[in-house]
């Protein structure tokens, strides 16, 4: 990796603050920003669009490997396209959230998306802040800085509820946040920091405090 590039990998459960803080870190450091979860969600939209039954593994694999996924790497501009269609808002809809783990559970789908994510990170000229579930351990274990953000269940539910503008009931919110974490934790460990991965509990921290804490960790890790 060229010495003038900086790659930061951030993992964590839903509502831990990884998306908002990763985006802000990319802004402050002049890096690209990659939301890897958006890629899984884009694929979910693709197979829903095609009328694919989530239980049809072969069809989900075909939809994943054949999907044309484009997404902004600019932290100040957020958009996602799949097969030429803008799905920026649709990837956050409940129907997408309900089936996105289907993609993650299939090894062939994960392998395809991991390869795409790695390629995008390698191609970022100045470097990138990438966030997801397995960036520190699978996608980019050789990142310059690897972080795992955690938070209490209460804090995570409150943050995601605010993010969604109160559109979901309490039971729907718990299902979207906690069920997906439970499903994904059977595939990859993102609740416990792997060797060499820095751990930051954000439960009682404000957004600005989380950003400052990460900036400090980055400075210490790269100095």
Contact 5, 126 (CB under 8 A): yes
Determine if residue 19 is labeled as part of a ligand binding site: yes
Interstrand relation of 6-11 and 127-132 (parallel, antiparallel or unpaired): parallel
Angle at 31 between CA 27 and CA 35, to 5 degrees: 85
Q: Which tens digits make up the pLDDT trace of 13-72?
A: 887 889 999 999 999 999 999 999 999 999 999 999 899 999 999 999 999 999 999 999
Determine if residue 221 is labeled as part of a ligand binding site: no
Token pair 């991991």 is found at 114
Average model confidence (pLDDT) across the chain: 89
Of 155, 110, 154, 152, which Cα lies nearest the Cα of 133?
110
For 61, other C-beta atoms within 10 Å of its C-beta total 17
Domain ranges of the chain: 7-218
pLDDT of 112 strictly over 90: yes
Determine if residue 13 is labeled as part of a ligand binding site: yes
Residue 98 to residue 118: CA distance in whole angstroms: 26
Contact 147, 16 (CB under 8 A): no
Q: List CB contacts of 96: < 8 A, sequence separation 6 or more.
A: 41, 44, 45, 48, 90
Determine if residue 18 is labeled as part of a ligand binding site: yes
- State the pLDDT at residue 139: 96
The CATH number of domain 7-218, selected from 3.40.50.300, 3.40.50.1360, 3.40.50.1370, 3.30.2310.20: 3.40.50.300
Residue 163 to residue 176: CA distance in whole angstroms: 13
Determine if residue 14 is labeled as part of a ligand binding site: yes
* Greatest alpha-carbon span in the chain: 51
Q: List CB contacts of 205: < 8 A, sequence separation 6 or more.
A: 17, 213
Determine if residue 203 is labeled as part of a ligand binding site: no
More confident residue, 23 or 1: 23
Give SS3 for 53: coil
More confident residue, 1 or 155: 155
- State the pLDDT at residue 6: 96
Determine if residue 17 is labeled as part of a ligand binding site: yes
In degrees and rounded to multiples of 5, residue 173 shows phi and psi of -65, -45
Q: Which tens digits make up the pLDDT trace of 154-204?
A: 888 887 777 766 677 777 777 767 766 766 665 666 667 778 899 999 999
DSSP at 90 = G
């Amino acid at each position: 990796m060229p010495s003038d590039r900086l790659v930061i990998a951030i993992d964590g459960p839903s509502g831990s603050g990884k998306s908002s803080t990763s985006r802000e870190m990319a802004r402050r450091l002049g890096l690209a920003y990659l939301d890897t979860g958006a890629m899984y969600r884009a694929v979910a939209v693709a197979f829903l669009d095609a009328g694919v039954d989530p239980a049809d593994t072969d069809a989900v694999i075909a939809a994943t490997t054949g999907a044309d996924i484009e997404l902004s790497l600019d932290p100040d501009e957020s958009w996602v396209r799949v097969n030429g269609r803008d799905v920026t808002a649709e990837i956050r809809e409940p129907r997408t959230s309900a089936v996105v783990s289907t993609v993650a559970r299939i090894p062939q789908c994960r392998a395809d998306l991991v390869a795409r994510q790695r390629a995008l990170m390698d191609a970022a000229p100045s470097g990138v802040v990438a966030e997801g579930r397995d960036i520190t351990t699978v996608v980019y274990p050789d990142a310059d800085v690897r972080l795992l953000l955690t938070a209490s269940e209460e804090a995570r539910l409150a943050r995601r509820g605010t993010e969604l503008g109160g559109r979901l009931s309490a039971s729907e919110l718990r299902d979207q946040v906690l069920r997906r974490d439970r499903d994904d934790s059977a595939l990859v460990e993102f609740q416990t920091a792997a060797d060499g991965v820095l751990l930051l509990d954000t439960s009682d921290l404000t957004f600005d405090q989380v950003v400052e804490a990460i900036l400090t960790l980055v400075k210490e890790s790269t100095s």
